[in-house]
Structure 1
Amino acid sequence: MTASLAPGVRRREAWAWAMYDFANSGYTTVVITAVFNAYFVAVVAGGADWGTLAWTSTLAISYALVILSAPLLGAYADAHACKKRLLLLSTLGCVAGTAGLALAGPGALGIAMLFVVLSNFCFGSGENLIAAFLPEIAREGAIGRVSGWGWSLGYLGGLLSLGASLAYVGWAQARGDTAAQFVPVCMLLTAGLFAVASLPTFLLLRERSQPQAPSGAGARVAFARFARTLGEAGRYRDLLRFLACTLCYQAGIAAVVTLAAIYADQAMGFSTQDTLLLILLVNLTAALGALAFGYVQDRLGHLATLRLTLCGWLLMVALAWAAEGPPLFWLAANVAGLCMGASQSAGRAIVGLLAPPTRLAEFFGLWGQAVKLSSILGPMTYGLTSWLSAGDHRLAILLTGSYFVLGLLILAGVDLERGRRAALGD
């Protein structure tokens, strides 16, 4: 493990960095993927036809806020060497917003939307900031495997939060509680686990970057640095192509992650407990995929690994579309798990190689901007398709596959070595 780390980085610090993935994955697993999304549609929105569209629209608002703020927030963090401080603020916001979801009962649409927007905006901001530490703690030749450590540990964190929720749901249902009674408790459990599991990150992870601006420069330096990046955009054409690729394939991933529980409920007839078991197993396969492919990409190559996983995503779409019953759908879900861990780990590692060392948070902010834009595009495409087709979720999942095809086509134009030379010449 030590041979994979940058000089001066200890194993416990790398573990502390990866523990943030462990901590925040419970939020996406329980709130976005497995529990609160289906609860929002079925209980908060009362099962109305517009429920799925309302859910995807709420997420779109939160992602739009990340899109508008991410590069400027990253530029500010680089200028003032305050990635860790901003990460703490975003963590507190996400924990508080997740706990606030416990107040969203039947019909409480405004409360649910408010706290989803707050928690998901803070989650997205923190996700970009923690990723910006990756090139500082990993050696260049091992950035894929170190990224994989974080993603795999993250899925285990998702398993912990989901397992705790599943245990509580089983106990609550056995005594006759309804979703309106047990889902709020799941939100509190998720918020608490996020807060506790993130403590090692703030205790052990070091801020290695140096301030790039005078202490009294304020926010204006962030705008100046971002304006400089826009002016030099042509110099980073491989990064721009990869961000376009990311926009496409992450749109497909976002649709799957955001709407998996809804698809399982509406198209497959899964119960809440069946859905939780499904997502539990998918998190396990995703952890294995992230860990295994983290090593594969350092040997096979980051771009080749990503191409392989995008082909896997197309296989998943075909299986889910063809599934008439649980067995084939379970297979599709676990193919998605393997590909999810691999593709997300590879994407983060590629950005780490294409980002200039003195502007990591800013460039990871651009990556976050593309990811969050895709998080609007993919789920909104799915939500609009299901609405316009009177609830045809099979058609919606089939259209999702087109995003992976576009991603493969754009990826063919990315030259990683040329992009790395441009980054080091900053």
Structure 2
Amino acid sequence: MSRILADGVKAREVWAWAMYDFANSAYTTTVVTAIFNAYFVAVVAAGASWATLAWTTTQAIASVAIMLTAASVGAYADRHGAKKKLLALTTVGCVAATAGLFWVGPGDVVLAMALVAIASFFFGSGENIVAAFLPELAGEDDLGKVSGWGWSWGYLGGMACLGLCLAWIVAAKGRGEAAESFVPAAMLITAVFFAVASAPTFLLLRERVPEKPVTDAGAEFSMLAHRLLITAREARRFPDMARFMVCLLCYQSGVFAAIALAAIYAQEAIGFTAEDNIKLFFVVNGTAAIGAFAFGYLQDRLGHVRTIALTLAGWLLMTAIALGSDSREQFWVAANVAGLCLGSSQAAARALVAVFAPAPRRAEFFGLWGLAMKLAAVAGPMTYGLTTWLSGGNHRLALAITGLYFVGGLLLLIGIDEKRGRAAALDG
């Protein structure tokens, strides 16, 4: 363990960092992926033809807000040693908005969209900030392993929260309750889980950059307001990082479409019930944890770019299986292939950004990572939502178009040189 970690880093600190992945996965698993998204379409919006588009638009609004603020938030964290403070703020925001979903029922479309947009904004901002701790914790040759530990532990957290929600839903159904009752209560369970499970992060994770107070608020605001443009202009100094951001944007568009719409696809195209979806994603989180952990070790040997290419080939395989599925059993196979690819592709991407990020600007560069991720979270689900709307609900066509994002990602990987990108980071 001591060889894998950076100098002065203790194992408990890495565990505390990974606990944030464990905690925040509760939100993506139950709200974005397995429970509330399908509930929004079927119950809140009463299965309207525009419901899927409304859901993807909500995620798009949050993603645009993150895109506009990610570089500035990262720059502020770097300049003022404020990663933990900002992480605490984003955690409180996401937990509070998630808890607010308890009051969402049939017809509360605007309230649901507002709360989910707020929660997703704070979730995504916090995800960027916590990722910036990775290069401080792991040795340079072991970034993949440590990133994989975090992602795999995160999926176990998603399973734990989903298991609690599933137990609640089964019990509620046994009492004769409807979805209007048990789904809002599951949102409270999710909020409490996130709050409690993230506590070790704030108790044990160190802020290694000395805190620097703001001395000139006007100058600080001006710098942060222009940070996105400044960072974009400087991208030419880091060509491999810039190319990877475009690559990441492309293939993550497909990944985010799969995450956000899998439950809806299973429900509308395959005939899954809400309970079927929960069971499916409980198992898929397990395969995702295995994928993140195993590929974390593989990528430190094989290389980050090659590992990402391997996972994108897996995403294409998943798309082909899902498109050809005419039974629940076949869709289960596709979903578990997606799980293996999901954990590995996300862990590998985070590790590669850590390789390309200059030490004094890590939070800022992970802000760029977040910007690309959130733009992908707009492009992928919106492509899927618009396709289903324009095609009169053809979810298979939407999935086929989603698969093109993985093809584009593979093509864009060509020309990315890890050694050159790392050399630029050391010079930056």
CA RMSD after TM alignment: 1.2
- Which residue of the partner structure matches residue 193 of structure 1? 193
- Distance across 2 between alignment mates of 1:230 and 1:405: 26
Q: Identify the match of residue 314 of structure 2 among 298, 312, 315.
A: 312
Q: Percent identity?
A: 58
1:125 aligned onto 2:125: yes
SS at 2:8 equivalent: coil
Provide, for residues 73-130 of structure 1, a one-character-per-residue CA deviation record: whole Å limited to 9, x for no partner.
1111111110110000000000000001111100001110110011000000000000
1:224 deviates by: 6.0
Amino acid at match of 2:404: S
Alignment of structure 1 residues 219-230 onto 2, 5 Å: 219-223=221-225, 226-230=228-232
CA distance in 2, matches of 1:225, 1:314: 36
Q: Which amino acid aligns with 1:207?
A: E
1:80-119 counterparts in 2 under 5 A? Answer: 80-119=80-119
Matched with 2:268 is: 266
TM-score normalized by the length of structure 1: 0.98
The count of corresponding residues between Structure 1 and Structure 2 is 426
- CA deviation profile, 1:223-259 (whole Å, cap 9, x unmatched): 4655543332211111010000000110000000001
Deviation (angstroms), 1:212: 7.4
Structure 2: unaligned runs, 5 residues or longer: none
Q: Could you report, residue by residue, the CA deviation over 1:199-219 in whole angstroms, capped at 9, with x for unpaired residues?
A: 000000011124678644533
- Within a 5 Å distance, the mapping from 1:46-195 to structure 2 comes to 46-195=46-195
Ranges of 4+ aligned residues in structure 1 off by more than 6 Å: none
Instruction: Determine the C-alpha separation between the residues in 2 that align with 1:421 and 1:312.
Output: 30
Aligned residue among 358, 361, 374 for 1:359: 361
Give the structure 2 partner of residue 302 of structure 1: 304
For 1:297, give the aligned amino acid. Q
Alignment partner, residue 207 of structure 1: 207
Q: Aligned partners of 1:229, 1:357: CA distance in 2, in Å? A: 15
- Aligned partner of 1:322: which letter? G
Question: Retained in 2: the 8 A contact 1:30–1:36?
Answer: yes
**Per-residue deviation at 1:221?**
3.7
Residues 61, 117 of structure 2: 8 Å contact kept: yes
- SS of equivalent to 1:413: coil
> Which secondary structure does the structure 2 equivalent of 1:343 belong to?
helix
Report the Cα distance in structure 1 between the residues aligned to 2:235 and 2:404, rounded to whole angstroms: 28
- CA offsets, 1:158-181, max 9 Å, x none? 001100011111111111111100
Q: Which runs of 5+ in 1 are unaligned?
A: none
> 2:204, 2:223 → 1: CA distance?
29
* 1:68, distance to aligned residue in structure 2 (A): 0.6
- Code of the residue aligned with 1:87 in structure 2: it is L
Equivalent residue in structure 2 for 1:407, among 406, 409, 412: 409
For residues 261 and 236 of structure 1, do their structure 2 counterparts lie closer, same or farther at Cα, with a shift above 3 Å needed? same
| Worse-superposed segment, 73-82 or 279-288 | 73-82
Say which of 349, 352, 362 aligns to 1:350.
352
For residues 226 and 59 of structure 2, the distance between their equivalents in structure 1, rounded to whole angstroms, comes to 30
Whether the 8 Å contact between 2:299 and 2:307 is mirrored in structure 1 is yes
C-alpha separation in 2, matches of 1:275 and 1:228: 44
